[in-house]
Chains A and B, each alone.
Chain A
Amino acid sequence: MSDYLLEIKDVSKFFHGLVAIDDLSMKVKKGQIYGIIGPNGAGKTTLFNCITGLYTPEKGEIIWEGKKINGIAPYKIAELGILRTFQTIRLFSEMSVAENIMSGRHIKSNQKWYNGIIHTPSMKKDEKKNWLKVGELMDFFELSKYATTPAGDLSYGLQRRIEMARALAAEPKLLILDEPAAGLNENETIKLAQTIREVRDQGVTILMIEHDMDMVMSLCEYITVINFGAKISEGEPSFVQDDPVVVEAYIGSDEDE
């Protein structure tokens, strides 16, 4: 098996004949904090949707731990250990914070079909184990006092934290974060960066899209830059930052005007 946890090989995705992702390749190492940047509409979220099974790429391969996973149903991708958050927060907003995080324990719970009707001692043990794990995560993300509050009633920053806690509840190998700092204030962003580092130190590989350049440059160990669906640059932050192609993509060259 290769050193890479996730490999994207020449992946293309079209929408009604328009190219959303164009022959994209990248490799994520185990334990890395990997960043994807690019202007709006560059195809970053589309790429995440391909990895997590929401979309099936027309061309190329997505390799997870040496096995091809494109075309696999999203719930099976989660079972493999790839969990994500969403750019537009997708919480179960009427449900409490604890119940939201509990959804992440779904794949870790070993309840049988009849446990929906009849409770057994082993099922109750499983239930308790999972709730305790939810409790741990609420402590880690400082959400405990909102345990019974409907997730939709909370602030943007808290909702982002709940989404991350929910994904981590599934004990992922790879955590995919889609613009985790969007809508956060400066303090919250600093705290988020710290949290992401802590999560990585617990052994979770991180793949993230982010627009906050300060955060990306300080946090990520490797970066791929995408524009119009294609990779235009990749490398360590210091390299990418000064790459003229990247600067041009972001600021725009004179010919554009």
Chain B
Amino acid sequence: MRQSYKIAIVFLIVMGFFPLFSNSSWLAVGTTFLIYSVVAFSQDIILGRAGAFQMGHALFFGLGAYATAILNVHFGVPIIYTFIPAILIPLIMAIVLAGPIIHLKGDYLLVATIGFNIIFIQVIQNDIFGLTGGPNGIFGIDVVRIFGVEFMSQTAIYYMSFMLLTLTLLIMRNLDASKYGRAMFYINKDDIAAQSMGINVRYYKLYAFALGSAIAGAAGSMFAIQYSAVSPEAFNVVQSIMFFTIVLVGGSASLPGVLIGTFVMFVLPEIFREFATARYLVFGLAMILTMILRPRGIWPVKFGNIPNYLKKDTK
């Protein structure tokens, strides 16, 4: 995995210079790519690492976006302060919602999480408490102001998203080299063996849900800032399926894999926009072929990320 950190650094450098060479429409695609990468990583914590089949992740992405939108538009809270509830609300909701169903295995958990996502969409479409704006969503979200300086240009928003992704990558790196990150892998690979080694499966799965959802919430907040609006269709089950697919197509628990997955699933369709809907035929086919030919993803994770002083006798 050391190699994957190098790749992540190269990626960040490239993305850091990207705005210098792109026009405004590509800058918008680039910004969304950064935000979706963050969501994909947060999905990867739950699905790729802890191995929980979460197919309602757009719910937590949406909770973050709606938290920012509602607090700012209805309550006049400055955007910068909405960031904290946009992280905390999805985090708490993840524990509340996933808590009772965390023991469910694979497909059962998947169906239950889809259920949560559908209920969430119903709730926001029904303009609950007159706060969510119904099917049209919420418009007119303010720009970010820090000490009176407005960060409203596309480039400013791009770099805020860039910072968020950088932070997320740092968290992923720290997670990988900690007891918590490893416990997730052990549970994923063999939960009976993990329990017998003293690992509390329920606790670490919930930890993954909470952490993943908090990060997704932060991304949601950024998403609301980028479009200065939120609406239900950006957070429906189809979006959840996309985040799920990104992780599997790219490579579960693999940093380069998740980035490639996001690129393939989100940026490529933008590049081939001129082919209109025909491109989806190609994408569907590409997804099927990936799963047949590379079942562990385009760029599978490599284990063996151990300190150098333990590698003395190898090779």
| Chain A residues within 8 Å of B, Cβ to Cβ | 52-54, 73-76, 78-79, 83-84, 86, 90-96, 98-99, 102-104, 106-107, 109, 111, 113, 115-119, 123, 127-128, 131-132, 134-135, 138, 144-150, 166-167, 170
Knowing A103-B182, A115-B178, A118-B174, say if A78 contacts B196 (CB, 8 Å).
yes
B180 at interface by CB-CB < 8 Å? yes
B310 at interface by CB-CB < 8 Å? yes
B216 to chain A, nearest CB (A): 15
In the complex, which of the residues B174, B178, B304 contacts A150, with contact meaning CB atoms closer than 8 Å?
Answer: B304
Knowing A90-B193, A95-B185, A119-B174, say if A147 contacts B180 (CB, 8 Å).
no
Given contacts A75-B196, A75-B197, A116-B174, 20 further A-B contacts (CB under 8 A): A53-B195, A75-B199, A78-B197, A90-B193, A90-B196, A91-B190, A94-B189, A95-B304, A99-B304, A99-B305, A99-B306, A102-B182, A106-B179, A106-B198, A109-B179, A116-B180, A117-B175, A127-B179, A128-B307, A147-B314
A142 to chain B, nearest CB (A): 10
Counting chain B CB atoms within 10 Å of each CB, the highest count among A52, A54, A92 belongs to A92
Knowing A103-B182, A128-B307, A148-B306, say if A117 contacts B174 (CB, 8 Å).
yes
In the complex, which of the residues A96, A123, A170 contacts B178, with contact meaning CB atoms closer than 8 Å?
Answer: A123
B185 touches A119 (CB 8 A): no
A83 touches B313 (CB 8 A): no
The DSSP consensus for interface residues of chain B is helix
In the complex, which of the residues B177, B186, B195, B307 contacts A92, with contact meaning CB atoms closer than 8 Å?
Answer: B186
A96 touches B304 (CB 8 A): yes
Contacts of A103 in B (CB 8 A): 182, 186, 193-194, 197, 199
Distance of A64 Cα from B217 Cα, bound (Å): 46
B90 to chain A, nearest CB (A): 15
B22 at interface by CB-CB < 8 Å? no
B263 to chain A, nearest CB (A): 25
B311 touches A148 (CB 8 A): yes
In the complex, which of the residues B185, B193, B199 contacts A91, with contact meaning CB atoms closer than 8 Å?
Answer: B193
Residue of A nearest to B190 (CB): A90
In the complex, which of the residues A106, A127, A128, A135 contacts B197, with contact meaning CB atoms closer than 8 Å?
Answer: A106
B71 at interface by CB-CB < 8 Å? no
A107 touches B197 (CB 8 A): yes
Knowing A150-B303, A170-B198, say if A113 contacts B313 (CB, 8 Å).
no
What would be 29 A-B contacts, judged by CB atoms less than 8 Å apart?
A54-B192, A54-B196, A74-B192, A75-B196, A75-B198, A75-B201, A78-B198, A92-B189, A98-B310, A99-B303, A99-B305, A102-B306, A103-B186, A104-B197, A106-B197, A107-B197, A111-B180, A116-B175, A116-B179, A116-B180, A116-B211, A127-B179, A131-B306, A138-B310, A144-B310, A146-B314, A147-B311, A147-B313, A148-B314
Contacts of B312 in A (CB 8 A): 144
Residue of B nearest to A143 (CB): B313
| Chain B residues within 8 Å of A, Cβ to Cβ | 171, 174-175, 177-183, 185-186, 189-190, 192-201, 207, 211, 303-307, 309-314
Contacts of B196 in A (CB 8 A): 52, 54, 74-75, 78, 83-84, 86, 90
A113 touches B189 (CB 8 A): no
Distance of A59 Cα from B39 Cα, bound (Å): 49
B110 to chain A, nearest CB (A): 22
Contacts of A111 in B (CB 8 A): 178-180
Contacts of B314 in A (CB 8 A): 144-149
A168 to chain B, nearest CB (A): 11
Contacts of A86 in B (CB 8 A): 193, 196
Knowing A52-B196, A74-B195, A99-B303, say if A115 contacts B179 (CB, 8 Å).
yes
Residue of A nearest to B175 (CB): A116
In the complex, which of the residues B171, B198, B303, B313 contacts A117, with contact meaning CB atoms closer than 8 Å?
Answer: B171
